[in-house]
Amino acid sequence: MKSIIMMGTENELRTLFDKFKGKATIIGPKIPNGEIAIRYCELNDYSEIPREVEDDQEPGKYKLMQGKFFRHGFDSPKKYMFPSTLKIIRVEKELEVKPYNYDPKETVFFAIKPCDAAAIKIMDKTFTWNKDAYYNAQRGKITIIVENCIKPGKTCFCATMGTGPRATENFDIAYTKINGKVLFEAGSIKGEKILMEIEVLKPASNEVIIEFIKVMDEAYEKAKAPFTTINLPEKLEINIANENLWKELSEKCLGCGNCTMVCPTCFCFDIYDESHLDEHVDRVRYWDSCFTYRYAEVARGHFRPEIWAMYRQWILHKFSYWKKQFNILGCVGCGRCITWCPAGIDLRENVKKASIGV
């Protein structure tokens, strides 16, 4: 994709937003009434996108305050691509089986961050190897408008994971807000066509591009973890049987599963039977987590009955097994699992420790 950086102002961003109005469901950041976090939800107007607000994220802490640039809250595009509960099949008593209709709407992800766009790329791999019809139904109907991250938060490490802070792939349009200007670039033919319709956009001058590079380079330095992904699967698996190490790393782990729920790529689910009094059963797909006790339990035994082993499964899956399964790492470095961990466990520190050993 040839990428020419175009320059405009916030007016053009609004124009871009308005282009989708009435044509698609627009999902973007918003602070709904009564909430004290940025959420992804349906937007009716550009003005709903928060302004003059910033999120302060630390391990186990999230706070909104006045500021210039906000990142993401706990939810991610995952909840639209892979709904947390989905009725899939209705079964009647004589085992007449009818699938429920699932017809997701044309959706625009507006102002999501590069890590979230990268997470969709990962989900593409995890869900399409079995041609998951539910995922694909939505996947064919999305447009991704990314806001590059000029100020990564304290729990971010997208630079290490290679997913940000500037989006490099898996988006239609990326934009960057720099000192009153908004720079646009297309990431797909679809995105390029849309940008071409906004005639006031002009190619950015060299001065502006230099300014852009400087801002992005600074952001890059802020989004690093204390480890690299080079040979990471092998480094981690060296310690696979080091029980004491995993016990140490999971010392504070509550086994609550929050990390897996807020993770934009975790894909585990289970299907339960919801029986009803009128004698039909709905088979419902729910998000599941490798931190639930029943996850690895069978009728006469348990394959992973302790928290340290669950924690190892999660870390090794994200940073090693995933690579072997889908030829990509399972982490985008968004830091949600760090911010939203009630115990404030810092994944970055633990991956570092686990890859060096003790």
In the region spanning residues 111 to 140, those forming contacts with another protein, defined by CB under 8 A, are 127, 129-130, 132-134, 136-137
Rounded least distance, CB 272 to another protein, Å: 7
Rounded least distance, CB 129 to another protein, Å: 8
How does strand 97-99 pair with strand 107-112?
unpaired
- Beta carbon nearer to another protein, 74 or 220: 74
Q: Which of residues 271-290 bind another protein (CB under 8 A)?
A: 271-279, 281, 283, 286-290
CA 237, distance to chain mean position in Å, is: 25
- Of 256, 349, 352, 353, the one binding another protein (CB under 8 A) is 256
Residue 102: partners with Cβ closer than 8 Å, 6 or more residues away: 86, 88, 133, 134, 137
Rounded least distance, CB 183 to another protein, Å: 32
For residue 143, which of 106, 191, 184, 108 has the smallest C-alpha distance? 108
- Of 45, 169, 221, 270, the one binding another protein (CB under 8 A) is 270
> Can residue 189 be called a binding residue for another protein (CB under 8 A)?
no
> Can residue 243 be called a binding residue for another protein (CB under 8 A)?
yes
Kindly list the strands in the beta sheet with 173-178, ordered across the sheet, starting from the edge strand earlier in the chain: 39-43, 25-30, 107-112, 142-147, 173-178, 181-186, 6-8, 202-203
- Beta carbon nearer to another protein, 183 or 310: 310
- Of 89, 198, 216, 284, the one binding another protein (CB under 8 A) is 89
Rounded least distance, CB 309 to another protein, Å: 4
Task: State how far the Cα of 126 lies from the Cα of 267, in Å rounded to an integer.
Answer: 8
- Beta carbon nearer to another protein, 199 or 278: 278
> Can residue 303 be called a binding residue for another protein (CB under 8 A)?
yes
Q: List the x/- string, 307-346, binding to another protein by CB under 8 A.
A: x-x--xx--xx--xx--xx-------------xx-xxx--
Q: List the x/- string, 8-27, binding to another protein by CB under 8 A.
A: --------------------
Count of beta carbons in the 10 Å neighbourhood of residue 210: 11
> Can residue 217 be called a binding residue for another protein (CB under 8 A)?
no
Rounded least distance, CB 328 to another protein, Å: 13
Tell me the window of 18-26, 57-65, 111-119, 160-168 that interacts with another protein (CB under 8 A).
Answer: 57-65
Helix (H, G, I), strand (E, B), or coil: what is residue 35?
Answer: coil
Produce one character per residue of 143-167: b if its CB has 16 or more CB atoms within 10 Å, e if not. Answer: bbbbbbbbbbbebbbbbbbebbbbb
- Beta carbon nearer to another protein, 212 or 322: 322
CA 15, distance to chain mean position in Å, is: 26
> Can residue 262 be called a binding residue for another protein (CB under 8 A)?
yes
DSSP notation for 249-297: HTTT-----HHHHH-SS---EEEEEEE-TTSEEEEEEEE--TTSGGGGE
* In 223-257, alpha helices (H): 232-238, 243-249
> Can residue 73 be called a binding residue for another protein (CB under 8 A)?
yes
Place of tokens 């080091």: 242
Tell me the window of 44-52, 111-119, 159-167, 306-314 that interacts with another protein (CB under 8 A).
Answer: 306-314
> Can residue 88 be called a binding residue for another protein (CB under 8 A)?
yes
Residue type, 77: P
Q: Are 171 and 187 in contact (CB under 8 A)?
A: yes
Helix (H) or strand (E) holding 146: strand 142-147
> Can residue 257 be called a binding residue for another protein (CB under 8 A)?
yes
> Can residue 141 be called a binding residue for another protein (CB under 8 A)?
no
Rg, Å, the chain Cα set: 21
> Can residue 300 be called a binding residue for another protein (CB under 8 A)?
yes
